Amino acid sequence: MKLYYIANARMPHKKAYAIQIAKMCEAFINEGVDLELIVPRYANEARDIKKYYNLTTEVKVKRLLSIDLYASGKWGFFLSSISFMVSYFFYLFLKKLRGKGGIVYIIDMDTFSFLPSVFLRMPYFFETHGGKTKNFINLFFFKHISGVIVINNIIKKQIAEKLAFSKERILVWPNGIDLDLFKEISKKEARKKLSLSLDNKIIMYSGRFYGWKGLDVLVSAAGTLPDNIFIYIIGGSKEEFISLTGKNNLSSNIIFPGEKLYTEMPLWLSAADALLVLGTKYDTQSYYYTSPMKVFEYLAMNRPIIASKTPAICDIVSEKEVVFYEPDDPKDLADKILLVVGMTKDVKNKVSAARKKAESFTWKKRAKDILNFIKNIQSK
């Protein structure tokens, strides 16, 4: 199968979207797919995706000419995306004329750059990590699409209802995990390597800082915890956190180790007593649509997981695997932290169930199911 994987995205990058793209390309290729990743061309970019993400295979990357104003505000992003749309349309159109057509697979990185694929007259599949509004562009696009891959059942229901799209042509598959990378080491060994005290309890959150994640709940919760319980927030600096949340009176038990490479995260997660997943009811993306990669990484690490009880998170895990806290409730979060560090028999059972569940979410299984989905639709 020839597959053109289109992403209006910077590759490689530290953000989770880029990791997901890289791991899916790797998994598709390992399943025998002749894959070509098509992305915009950026100045001064690191080009070796295999080395950057420690992949097992080379990924063929085509970097197309586009205006590089992605970081210049709304209009800069719009103009850059338009230029990428034009570039990939003509690139694939010429491929088709030369008899080198294939399956077009587009990951939804914005609200419109997927549109030219309609006019290529090639089978195309669309992966989206959020809901879609009912408008002329989306109605036209979904009328001609071959199939859709979504990350939770909430998105599937929303697309089927709002855009009158057949549920039989929607595959639900959350994000995945690399079990070869995310292997637990002992807490003692991890803390020794990171020069962290064995005497303290560490609750660890990992993820980049965005307003829609509900990070400010950590400030109030941390202030009520005992002196020996520390919250480690990996993904940005203290200054970035304060700027985003508006909270500058942070208690001393909130620690900011900074950004870490994807390949470093298993060591940091192994050093924790418990792992934390946030979510807020005040943001639609956070509450309904997100499928954080950290959830799957946490599942594999043999550590208790404390998670916000949002519909999006509940679509991935249940009370069998995690301890839920009420979204945006710092007191309930603090109470659940105290419960988890006590490591009751119930919490230990959840840890075992979580590790077992992680085995169901490998990138290999995700790629294989998506390919079967594509083949089944193509055969009809």
- Give the CA count within 13 Å in the CB-facing half-sphere of 67: 15
Q: Which tokens in the block code for residue 74?
A: 């709304």
The residue whose two tokens read 């209802």 is 161
Check residue 184 and give its pLDDT.
94
Check residue 113 and give its pLDDT.
81
CATH topology of domain 187-358: Rossmann fold (3.40.50)
Q: What type of residue sits at position 222?
A: A
Return the closest-CA partner of residue 7 out of 33, 31, 42: 42
Check residue 67 and give its pLDDT.
87
Cα angle 186, 187, 192 (rounded to 5 degrees) comes to 100
CA distance 115 to 127: 13
At the second CATH level, the architecture of 2-176+362-378 is 3-Layer(aba) Sandwich (3.40)
Count of CB atoms situated within 10 Å of the CB of 183 = 12
Check residue 38 and give its pLDDT.
96
CA dihedral sign of residues 210, 211, 212, 216: positive
Mean pLDDT by 10 residues, the chain (380 residues): 95 90 97 97 77 92 89 84 93 95 92 84 93 89 93 95 95 94 95 96 94 91 95 95 90 95 94 97 92 94 97 96 97 97 92 96 97 94
CA distance 158 to 240: 34
Domain limits, CATH 3.40.50.2000, in the chain: 2-176+362-378, 187-358
Count of CB atoms situated within 10 Å of the CB of 296 = 24
Check residue 46 and give its pLDDT.
63
